[in-house]
Amino acid sequence: MSTQRQSLRPSCLLFLIVLSLCTKSCTSDVKNSTNVSLTGAGATFPAPLYQGWFAMYNQQHPNVKINYQSIGSGTGISQFIQGTVDFAASDVAITEEQAAQVKRGAIALPMTAGAIVIAYNLPKVATGLKLSRAVYTDIFLGKIKTWNDPKIATLNPGVQLPDLPILVVHRSDGSGTTSVFTQHLNAISPEWKNKVGAGKAIAWPIGIGAKGNEGVTAHIQQLVGTIGYIEYSYAMQNNLSVAALENKAGRYIMPTLDSAAQTLEKIELPSKNLIAFITDPADPQSYPIVTYTWLLSYQKYQDPQKAQVLKNFVDWALTTGQKYSTELGYIPLPQEVVTQVKSAAGKISE
């Protein structure tokens, strides 16, 4: 891989996709002339998809404008609890304790899903570097310090690994992506669980911090020898090299929409709150780090127009919007999940 990386910023790619799709299929609905604006904030994980969806929806419904700030799940949940946004987004949904602080009630709606990948920047090393569970845990523990370490070399015979220090990049903000990634490390490594643990913000043993999936992606692009965890679409859109990770069955699986969907099929969402995770899937074909991501809605809105607009958007995203998920690097929801989410969204009221 050349060190001269040609990248397309997610916002630019989204603009081109939206323009193409809407030129072909979008029709304006101007029956309702009342302008309604919604403001949301939260996870960077689904931000490329949400931004694309909101642009498409605005093309079809010019009276509706949805603004979304990609600031991390932790901050998004805080603003949701404080009531300063109309909705939030989180890769770890919302805890019962957090939901109890929301006076207007909280509804967690899984809207899409995606894989968390381990991306790296190594000149002349192609995508697909094999990393075992023990190896990638040890890299993030700071125990494996150079790229030509024998533990990495043994897994990748014939690959010319450079004698470079490994520079770990992690999230500096409260992050659902971090929570999902570290929950996985907790599940596969007793040492990680005992020494570091899991959460939206943790004390990293090693590395440098960056804000958002965008920030981690930018560091990996710019600095040779870096490695970090990001959502799949950020790696796809920026042409980053990604590792093939060893799963529970001992197979090395590349992150693809198919291998991530294989994992998703094994996640059963409880009817109570539609929140569930799978930290270490057992299926031999499954990519090991996959998660739903949730849109957080209030159960009651003071403004009836906002309530109705949000319900309308959710219904659109669950039907028309799902058709564009794969083009933006996300996994379309299984039909049974779509049915569950529609039922939950029906509880949104004024």
Q: Measure CA of the first residue to CA of the last residue in the chain; give whole Å.
A: 54
For residue range 228-266, list pLDDT tens digits in order: 999 999 999 999 999 999 999 999 999 999 999 999 988
Mean pLDDT score of the chain, rounded to an integer? Answer: 91
pLDDT at 34: 85
User: Is residue 10 scored above 70 in pLDDT?
Assistant: no
Q: Which of 26-35, 50-59, 303-312 shows the lowest mean pLDDT across its residues?
A: 26-35
- Output the CATH code of domain 116-264: 3.40.190.10
Q: Do domains 10-112+291-345 and 116-264 have the same CATH topology?
A: yes
The residue assigned the tokens 């043994």 is 154
pLDDT at 20 over 80: no
Can you name the residues that pair with 139 across neighbouring β-strands?
Answer: none
Q: Where are the domains of the chain?
A: 10-112+291-345, 116-264
pLDDT in tens, 171-214: 999 999 999 999 999 999 999 999 999 999 999 999 999 999 99
Q: Using CA atoms, how far apart are residues 49 and 333, in angstroms rounded to an integer?
A: 13
Q: CA 150 → CA 95, 156, 311, distances in Å?
A: 42, 10, 54
Q: Which fold has domain 10-112+291-345?
A: D-Maltodextrin-Binding Protein; domain 2 (3.40.190)
For residue 8, pLDDT over 50 is answered with no
Distance CA 181, CA 141 (A): 13
Per residue, what are the HEC states of the chain? CCCCCCCCCHHHHHHHHHHHHHHHHCCCCCCCCCCEEEEEEECCCCHHHHHHHHHHHHHHCCCEEEEEEECCHHHHHHHHHHCCCCEEEECCCCCHHHHHCCCCCEEEEEEEEEEEEEEECCCCCCCCCEECHHHHHHHHHCCCCECCCHHHHHHCCCCCCCCCECEEEEECCCCHHHHHHHHHHHHHCHHHHHHCCCCCCCCCCCCEEECHHHHHHHHHHHCCCEEEEEEHHHHHHCCCEECEEECCCCCEECCCHHHHHHHHCCCCCCCCCCCCCCCCCCCCCCCCCEEEEEEEEECECCCHHHHHHHHHHHHHHHCCHHHHCHHHCCECCCHHHHHHHHHHHCCCEC
pLDDT of residue 17: 52
Euclidean distance between CA atoms 14 and 329, whole angstroms? 11
pLDDT digits (tens, 9 = 90+) for 332-343: 999 999 999 999
pLDDT tens for each residue of 94-146:
999 999 999 999 999 999 999 999 999 999 999 999 999 999 999 999 999 99
Number of CB atoms found within 10 A of residue 79's CB: 19
| AA letter at 67 | N
Percent of the chain predicted with pLDDT > 70: 91
Residues listed for the chain: 350
pLDDT digits (tens, 9 = 90+) for 275-295: 999 999 999 999 999 999 999
When pLDDT is averaged across residues 9-36 and rounded to a whole number, the result is 52
